[in-house]
Homo-oligomer: A and B are copies of this chain.
Amino acid sequence: MENKEEKQLVGVKEIARRANVSTATVDRVLNNRSGVSAKTKERILEIVRELDYKPNIMARRLASRKTLAFAVLIPGVSEETGYWAAPLNGVNKASGELKDFGITVDTYFFDQNDKSSFIANASQILDRKYDGVVLAPMFEDESVAFIRECEASGIPFVFINSDIEDQHNLCYIGPDLFQSGYLAGHLMHYILRAGQKALIVNISKEMDLHHHLLRKEEGFRKYFSEKKQDVTLLKTDIRKTDYASIRSELHRILDEHQVDVIFVTNSRVSSVARFLEENSKTDILLAGYDFLDENIRFLKREVVDFLICQKPQEQGYRGVMALYETLVHQHSLPREQFMPIDIITKENYVYYQN
């Protein structure tokens, strides 16, 4: 009872009463605005501590006419890949939740095959003076140029989906590429016997994106070099993404070698699945990345055995939320937030969230 009453009273008013000042002054201290004598400030802070005062966040946002605007810069959904629909979803979800709190989120899309579209969007964002930015820094040089400008303007930014090291980003939210490749190695080793062959397939046009695939390949190789050296690892880099190119390369390599498992280092696994199906080679174990419709289709038909997925939706959601937590609640966040490495199979995909 005592406790309850005490709780009721703890607010700026009570603090003001105890400190013998007005609520305006308490407010100044609480929000650490200037214009309060050191003595008064200390007195108030002391009372705050004593009372273990926690501001009512709702009253705060209600009263404050302040409004924040965030910008999100990510690839658009292309017909080539639906991947970015998921992060966008997450961004929209966060945006919906934050609307009531006076925060707006604008999204800008660039073309993964066109650096200039990244640059154009970035410069628009700079013009509009946002309070925070979430971006997928796929193009390294262009991204660095952009965030230099952000820093100059004091605009905080967070990276999602891919990272650039040693930058002043608030945090990175995305996959640990190496580790996911390593996991794929583990999953596949169960089926491989001595002397059998595994094929690694990297499919991508853009050099910047190709780097990512190589990290996964490294992880995959690492597993076998550590745990199972009696299998042969083959690899192919396919630098064109149309099906005809993929088909001819797979033909070439699979005619030459008897392969038992195939690891595709990105969402392009559906093209490989199509090839295997068309050529009645579905007995080959096939694994790849991402919860996309076309991939799930092949998973259902048991052409694809596993998909690895790293919560793309959550990356978008958390990216926006990271800005919110930092700017509104002054929380500090871990610099690196690696997503879980989820394994999707025919049996669990219906329940996958994200």
Q: Which residues of A contact B (CB under 8 A)?
A: 56-59, 61-62, 100-101, 176, 179-180, 182-183, 186-187, 190-191, 285, 338-343, 345-348, 351-353
27 A-B residue pairings within 8 Å (CB atoms): A56-B62, A57-B100, A58-B58, A58-B59, A58-B100, A58-B101, A62-B62, A179-B347, A179-B348, A179-B351, A180-B348, A182-B347, A183-B345, A186-B345, A186-B346, A186-B347, A190-B190, A190-B191, A338-B351, A339-B351, A340-B351, A341-B347, A341-B348, A341-B351, A342-B342, A342-B343, A343-B348
Q: For residue A186, which residues in chain B have a CB less than 8 angstroms away from its CB?
A: 345-347
Residue of A186, A190, A351 with highest tally of chain B CB at under 10 A: A351
Q: Choose from B57, B62, B339, B343 the contact partner of A59 (Cβ within 8 Å).
A: B62
Interchain CB contact (< 8 A) of A62 among B58, B339, B340: B58
Across-interface contacts of A179 in B (CB, < 8 A): 347-348, 351
User: In the complex, A190→B190 CA distance in Å?
Assistant: 7
Identical copies in the complex = 2
Among B59, B183, B345, the residue within 8 A (CB) of A347 is B183
The CA of A190 and the CA of B347, in the complex, are separated in Å by 14
Say how far A317's CB is from chain B's closest CB, in angstroms. Answer: 13
Chain B residues within an 8 Å CB radius of A58: 58-59, 61-62, 100-101
Q: How far is the CB of A322 from chain B (nearest CB, A)?
A: 15
Closest B residue to A219 using CB positions:
B347
How far apart are the CA atoms of A187 and B341 in the complex, in Å? 16
Tell me the minimal C-beta distance from A79 to chain B in angstroms.
Answer: 29
Distance from A128 Cβ to chain B, minimum over Cβ atoms (Å): 16
- Which residues of chain B come closer than 8 Å to A61, judged between CB atoms? 58
Contacts A57-B100, A59-B62, A176-B351; A343 near B343 (Cβ below 8 A)? yes
Name the B residues within 8 Å of A187 (CB-CB): 345
Min Cβ gap A121→B in Å is 24
Among B101, B340, B347, the residue within 8 A (CB) of A353 is: B340
Known contacts A59-B62, A183-B345, A191-B191; can you find 17 more A-B pairs with CB under 8 A? Answer: A56-B62, A56-B100, A58-B100, A58-B101, A62-B62, A176-B351, A179-B351, A182-B347, A183-B348, A186-B345, A186-B346, A186-B347, A190-B285, A341-B348, A341-B351, A342-B342, A342-B348
CB of A61 to closest CB in B, whole Å? 6
With CB as the reference atom, state the residue of chain B lying closest to A341. B348
